[in-house]
Amino acid sequence: MTKIAVANGDGIGPEIMEAVLSVFKAAKVPLEYDFVDMGKWVFDKGYSNGMTPDAQQTIESLGILFKGPMETPKGKGVKSVNVTARKTWNTYANKRTFQTLHGVDTVFSKAGIPIDITIVRENIEDTYGGIEHMLTHDVALSRRFITRPGSIQVIKYAFEMAKKKGTKRITCGHKANIMKLTDGLFLDVFYEIAKEYPELKADDVIVDDLCMKLVSRPDLFDVVVLTNLQGDIVSDLCAGLVGGLGFAPSANIGDHICIFEAVHGTAPDIAGKNIANPTALLLSGIGMLRHLGLMEAAIMIENALLYTLESSVHTGDFGDRSIPSLSTTDFANAIIGNFGKEPAHNPKPYMPNQPATPTLFKLDDYPMLESVESQQERIVGVDLFIESNEQPSVIAEKSLKHTLNIFKLVTISNRGTQVWPTGSSFTNLVNQYACRFESIGDAPVTQVDIVELYKRLAQDFKICSTELLNKWGDKKAYSLAQGQ
Ligand code: NAI
C-alpha cells in the first residue's frame, strides 16, 4: 500500500483533515498515513522552519505530503512554513482548479455561465524569495527573480497538463509591457514552449486585463499560467468566481515531491468550532488520489461530494440559509452516505485505477538548473544606488569627477524615473538615486574597473546597492530608466 506524509496543520487544519481522512477511510482508499510534525506549534517548540528534522526526512522519503493549512507566525524575520516547504522541495508548479459546483450559488451559476479554469502559478521564484533590504531609512527594496530554467519547468508542466486535460486554450498572464526583462522572459519562454504544442491555442493577456476578462467572461478561459505573485492574486479571484476559498483546491507539483493542500488558510476566526468547510481540502485530496493513480476512489468520492452539494447540504459558509447548516463532521458523514450516487450535473466517469506510485530516490547533490549560454556576455557598466537628499544636478557634478576616463555618467534616476540629464522638477524625490555609468565606446570593462569606480564614488556618497550592466551580444541586459 502507498504511504504518504500527512500534516494536520493549525487552526481549522486538524478538523478538516479528520473529516477528509474519515471520507477516505469509509471509501477504503488504499493509503497509509505517516503523520508528521509541521506548523506553528512546531515553530513554537523552537524549530525555526516550522518542521522537525524527522518530518523533513519522512516527507523526502515518501514524496507526497497532504497538508492542512499552517499559520505564519506574525513578526519580523519569520518565514511562512507553507512557502518554505514549496521552495525547499522545488514544487515549481502550483495548480489550482476552479469549477462550477452545482449547489454552490454564484453570480455565474445563476446566469448559467459554466466555469472550468485551471490556474498554474509559478511557485518558487518572483518576490516570494522574500529577499528584501532597507536601502535607506526611507527606501525598501525587494528582489524579484524570474529565471529561464524556473519558467521552463512551470510552463512545460502547464502545457503538458493542458494537453492531458484535452484543453484547447492556454493563456499566459503577465505584465511584460512594464516589466520587460522579468515578465518578458516568462512570456518568451511561454511562446518558445508553445511551439512544441501546436494542437493547443496559446495566447497571452496582460494581467490587469485578464482580471477584468475573468470577472466578465470566465467561461472563455481554460488553463492560465502566471508568475508567482500575479498567480496568487488571480487564483483567489478565481476562487471568488466559483463560491469562495472553501472550494479552492491546490496541488504543488515538483519532480520529486508533491504537496496537496487547500488554497485557504487556518481560519482562526472559526477554528475549534467544527463548522469549517472541508470541501477544498477534500478536492485537494481527490486531486492527490488521481495523481497517485487511485482513479476509482477519486471518482467515487468526487461524485458523492458533487451529489451532496447538489442536494443543498452545506456548512455555514455557503448554501441556502433557509436550510440549517451542518457541522464539519456531519458534512463529511453526508458525503459518505452518498457513496455510489451520481450527481445530475457533470458526473465523473468511472475509470480503472492507473497505479502511479511516486518515484522515490535520494538526491545527494543539489540539482543545478542551467540553460545553454547562447551569446557573448560582457560587462559594459554599472548602476550604483546611492543615498542622498541632494538635488540631481549636485549628484551629477560630484559623480562626474569619478568616471576615470573609462566610464560616462549616462543617467541619474530616482524610483526608476530619470532626473538627470533631463527630467522634470515636478518629479518627487526620495533619498536614494541610481547613477548609471556605462563604458565609453561600449568597451568591455572589468569588475576591477567597477570596484575602482565604487571606491571613488564612496568618497562622496554611501552606496547602498550595486548592479552590473551586462550585454548579451548587442542586446542590453538591463532596463532603461523612465524618460531615458
Ligand atoms: P483564511 O483563508 O484562513 O481565512 C479567510 C476567511 O475565509 C476567514 O473569514 C475564514 O473564516 C474563511 N475560511 C477560510 N477557510 C475556510 C473554510 N474551510 N471553511 C469556512 N470558512 C473558511 O485567511 P487569513 O485569515 O488571511 O489567514 C489565516 C492564517 O492562515 C495566516 O496565518 C496565514 O498565514 C495562513 N495561511 C495559510 C495558508 C496555507 O497553509 N496554505 C494559505 C493562506 C493563509
> Which of 45-59, 82-96, 378-392 shows the highest mean pLDDT?
378-392
Q: Ligand 1 mean position to 82 CA, how many Å?
A: 13
CB 158 within 8 A of CB 269: no
CB 246 within 8 A of CB 264: yes
Q: Which atom of ligand 1 is nearest to the CA of 280?
A: 18
Among 266, 281, 327, residue to substitute to test ligand 1 (most atoms within 8 Å of Cβ): 266
Element (H, E) at 300: helix 295-310
Give the C-alpha separation, 269 to 29, whole Å: 32
Residues having CB within 6 Å of any atom of ligand 1: 12, 69-72, 82, 245-246, 261, 264-270, 276-277, 280, 317
* 30-39, 263-272, 357-366: segment of lowest average pLDDT: 357-366
CA dihedral 200, 203, 209, 214 (to 10 degrees): 0
Up-side HSE of residue 154: CA atoms within 13 Å toward CB? 31
CB 37 within 8 A of CB 96: no
| pLDDT for the residue 462 | 97
> H-type helices in 166-221, by residue range?
182-194, 207-216
CB 289 within 8 A of CB 27: no
User: pLDDT grade, residue 356 (50/70/90)?
Assistant: low
Q: Ligand 1 mean position to 97 CA, how many Å?
A: 18
CB 158 within 8 A of CB 231: no
| pLDDT for the residue 436 | 97
- Which protein residue's CA is at the shortest distance from atom 26 of ligand 1? 265
Q: Are strands 2-7 and 31-35 parallel, antiparallel or unpaired?
A: parallel
Q: Of the candidates 7, 33, 109, which has an alpha carbon nearest to the alpha carbon of residue 346?
A: 109
Q: Ligand 1 mean position to 237 CA, how many Å?
A: 15
The 10s digit of each residue's pLDDT in 58-109 is: 999 999 999 999 998 776 566 788 888 888 899 999 999 999 988 888 999 8
- Which protein residue's CA is at the shortest distance from atom 34 of ligand 1? 72
**CA of residue 380 relative to chain centroid, distance:** 34
| pLDDT for the residue 26 | 98
Look over the chain and give the mean of its residue pLDDT values, rounded to a whole number.
93
Q: What is the mean pLDDT of residues 368-390?
A: 90
CB 460 within 8 A of CB 387: no
- Which protein residue's CA is at the shortest distance from atom 11 of ligand 1? 267
Rounded to two decimals, the pTM is: 0.91
* Angle between helix 295-310 and 13-26 (nearest 10): 110
* 63-77, 219-233, 278-292: segment of lowest average pLDDT: 63-77
Q: Percent of the chain beyond pLDDT 90?
A: 79
Q: Is the pLDDT of residue 411 over 90?
A: yes
Phi and psi at 217, nearest 5°, equal -135, 65
The 10s digit of each residue's pLDDT in 323-340 is: 999 999 999 999 999 999
Q: Is the pLDDT of residue 358 over 70?
A: no
Q: Ligand 1 mean position to 475 CA, how many Å?
A: 45
| pLDDT for the residue 103 | 86
C-alpha cell at 429: 524625490
| pLDDT for the residue 361 | 60
Rg over CA atoms, the chain: 26
C-alpha cell at 351: 475509470
| pLDDT for the residue 391 | 97
Q: What is the mean pLDDT of residues 264-291?
A: 96
Q: Ligand 1 mean position to 29 CA, how many Å?
A: 28
| pLDDT for the residue 245 | 85
Looking at the chain, the number of H-run helices and the number of E-run strands are 14, 18
The domains found in the chain, sorted by start residue, are 1-90+258-279+297-371 (3.40.718.10), 105-242 (3.40.718.10), 377-476 (3.30.70.1570)
Q: What is the mean pLDDT of residues 427-436?
A: 97
CA dihedral 15, 21, 23, 26 (to 10 degrees): -130
C-alpha cell at 238: 478565481
Q: Of the candidates 129, 195, 125, which has an alpha carbon nearest to the alpha carbon of residue 156?
A: 195
Give the C-alpha separation, 434 to 416, whole Å: 8
Q: Which atom of ligand 1 is nearest to the CA of 40?
A: 32
**CA of residue 327 relative to chain centroid, distance:** 32
| pLDDT for the residue 399 | 97
CA dihedral 332, 337, 343, 348 (to 10 degrees): 80
Strand partners, 174: 206
The 10s digit of each residue's pLDDT in 124-142 is: 999 988 899 999 999 999 9
CB 1 within 8 A of CB 261: no
Q: Are strands 2-7 and 64-67 parallel, antiparallel or unpaired?
A: parallel
